[in-house]
Amino acid sequence: MKTVAFYTLGCKVNQYETEAMGQLFQRAGYEIVDSEQKADVYVINTCTVTNLGDRKSRQFIRRAKKINPEAIVAVVGCYAQTSPDEVLSIEGVNIILGTKDRNKIVAYVEKIQKENEKINAVEDIMQIKEFEEMTIGEIKGKTRAFLKIQEGCNQYCTYCIIPYARGPVRSRKLEDIIKEVKRLAEHGFKEVVLTGIHVASYGKDLEGTSLLDVIRAVHEVDGIERIRLSSIEPTIATEEFVREISKMEKVCPHFHLSLQSGCDATLKRMNRKYTTGEYRTIVERLREYMPDLSITTDIMVGFPGETEEEFEATLNFVKEIQFSQIHVFKYSPRKGTPAAKYKNQVPAEIKNIRSEKLIELARESAIKYNERFIGIIKKVLFETASTEMEGYYEGLTDNYIRVFSKANPEAEGKLIPVRLEKIYGEGILGTIVEKI
């Protein structure tokens, strides 16, 4: 049997797209093997959000050819889309496919097998107006399903390459979303995570459909017990939006509200579409309707021109908001974005110091949030056996607390009441309170 291996970098959208491509290969008679094994075909699904993503992509391309010099190497995704000539110049690359026409990847591989010529299938993504359906047909045994509902971004933050890599906003048809959600429910999935490149923009290219309509429709699907949103733009949380989702018991009290900076001057240079005052109001609104709400976020340190005073403003804002989790990352100049040309680029050593300070504050904030729930019974959707403690399984509460509890394999994929008892790292140890 022919074999194919995948190496995926970046976001949940990339992971979804890799799974969809994997099923295309399986239907064509391929066996999927681990990326470190010898394979006939290697597919590298790339990320270009940071320089590190580009570098990891190049490293794996070279590693794949070392594992099997005769293998066909296909490079797809955001790095391939934004830098096709650079990718094409890497020795051993056979196929370059950007962020469009991933459904044709098996056909391209078969063409290479016959003709043995390089294929560069990257097109101008800015001209693409239709959502590319990449349905996952055969569902694997996972507990949470990521469901891509949207593609592209029109925001053009000054640091971000993604609008150039993914193109303009394209929304998936509501009927296609619900078909896939019903199939997920039939396969026993309890939680659906609605994901995309800029989920808050869902429906901007459609008439009479919004993200709220999607949530309402998914809420009606029997068998699905939790609905979670991936990262959303804060400005979507209007009074109407928050009021309506608070009425739907399946919507998880957890929102990943992207912040990026807690300083208004920095936000303005970033071309973010809100101020810290507006962000604060949105958080207060959400907490008013959903008191146990978990708010997680992304924060960038070392954006060009970020002074010590601006960074201190971010630290103070983080202390005020009290996030339950923070993803901290250092600014990385991306060629083709306005911020890459800005003066006053922050030295790496200062970025490192600021990152460490913010990570420590994030850790303290996570523990403080979790401590509120010690002694409380919460339902946990158990996902997998713990790699840290033998005989323990781990999973998530609806408000995104990671819980570890003694359990047997039957717990996997089930929602089970657990008494939360003791802080464990940035999670909580608990005890199951009813028989599985």
Residues above pLDDT 90, as percent of the chain: 81
Band the pLDDT of 142: cuts 50, 70, 90: low
Number of domains in the chain: 3
Q: What is the mean pLDDT of the chain?
A: 93
Query: Are 78 and 141 contained in the same domain?
Result: no
Query: Are 58 and 104 contained in the same domain?
Result: yes
The average pLDDT across 8-23 equals 90
Domain range holding 196?
125-252
Query: Are 44 and 135 contained in the same domain?
Result: no
Query: Are 113 and 129 contained in the same domain?
Result: no
Task: Specify the pLDDT at position 96.
Answer: 95
Q: Of 123, 147, 173, which residue sits at a domain end?
A: 123
Q: Is the pLDDT of residue 99 over 70?
A: yes
pLDDT digits (tens, 9 = 90+) for 64-74: 989 999 999 99
291 part of a folded domain: no
Q: Is the pLDDT of residue 120 over 80?
A: yes
Q: Of 191, 221, 252, which residue sits at a domain end?
A: 252
Task: Specify the pLDDT at position 313.
Answer: 98
Q: Is the pLDDT of residue 139 over 60?
A: no
The average pLDDT across 212-232 equals 96
Task: Specify the pLDDT at position 436.
Answer: 58
104 part of a folded domain: yes
- Give, in order, the Cα–Cα distances in Å from 395 to each of 8, 64, 325, 343: 23, 34, 16, 45
The average pLDDT across 198-211 equals 94
Band the pLDDT of 140: cuts 50, 70, 90: low
Please list the helix, strand and coil fractions of the chain in percent, rounded to the nearest 5, in that order. 40, 25, 40
Contact in structure between 405 and 430 (CB atoms under 8 Å) = yes
Band the pLDDT of 214: cuts 50, 70, 90: very high
Q: Across the strands, what pairs with 255?
A: 295
Band the pLDDT of 337: cuts 50, 70, 90: very high
The average pLDDT across 215-229 equals 97
Q: Is the pLDDT of residue 309 over 90?
A: yes
Tokens of 273: 């579409």
Task: Specify the pLDDT at position 220.
Answer: 98
222 part of a folded domain: yes
Band the pLDDT of 301: cuts 50, 70, 90: very high
Q: Is the pLDDT of residue 136 over 60?
A: yes
Contact in structure between 428 and 294 (CB atoms under 8 Å) = no
371 part of a folded domain: no
Q: Is the pLDDT of residue 28 over 90?
A: yes
Query: Are 134 and 241 contained in the same domain?
Result: yes
Task: Specify the pLDDT at position 134.
Answer: 81
Band the pLDDT of 144: cuts 50, 70, 90: confident
207 part of a folded domain: yes
266 vs 10, which has greater pLDDT?
Answer: 266
Task: Specify the pLDDT at position 10.
Answer: 87
Band the pLDDT of 353: cuts 50, 70, 90: very high
Q: Is the pLDDT of residue 137 over 80?
A: no
Task: Specify the pLDDT at position 115.
Answer: 84
Band the pLDDT of 49: cuts 50, 70, 90: confident
CB-count exposure of residue 265 (10 Å: 0-12, 13-18, 19+): middle
- Give, in order, the Cα–Cα distances in Å from 53 to each of 48, 78, 295: 5, 10, 26
CA 144 to chain centre: 13
Q: Is the pLDDT of residue 90 over 60?
A: yes
Query: Are 117 and 9 contained in the same domain?
Result: yes
Task: Specify the pLDDT at position 219.
Answer: 98
The average pLDDT across 419-423 equals 98
Task: Specify the pLDDT at position 307.
Answer: 98
Task: Specify the pLDDT at position 141.
Answer: 57
417 vs 53, which has greater pLDDT?
Answer: 417
CATH number, residue 419: 2.40.50.140
Task: Specify the pLDDT at position 203.
Answer: 95
The average pLDDT across 248-254 equals 97
Task: Specify the pLDDT at position 360.
Answer: 97
Query: Are 54 and 131 contained in the same domain?
Result: no
Considering only 51-60, 159-168, 333-342, 405-414, which range has the smallest mean pLDDT?
51-60
DSSP character string of 268-336: HHHT-S--HHHHHHHHHHHHHH-TT-EEEEEEEE--TT--HHHHHHHHHHHHHHT-SEEEEEE----TT
Query: Are 129 and 225 contained in the same domain?
Result: yes
Amino acid identity for residue 89 in this structure: S
Q: At what angle do helices 276-289 and 308-321 cross, to 10 degrees?
A: 10
Task: Specify the pLDDT at position 51.
Answer: 79
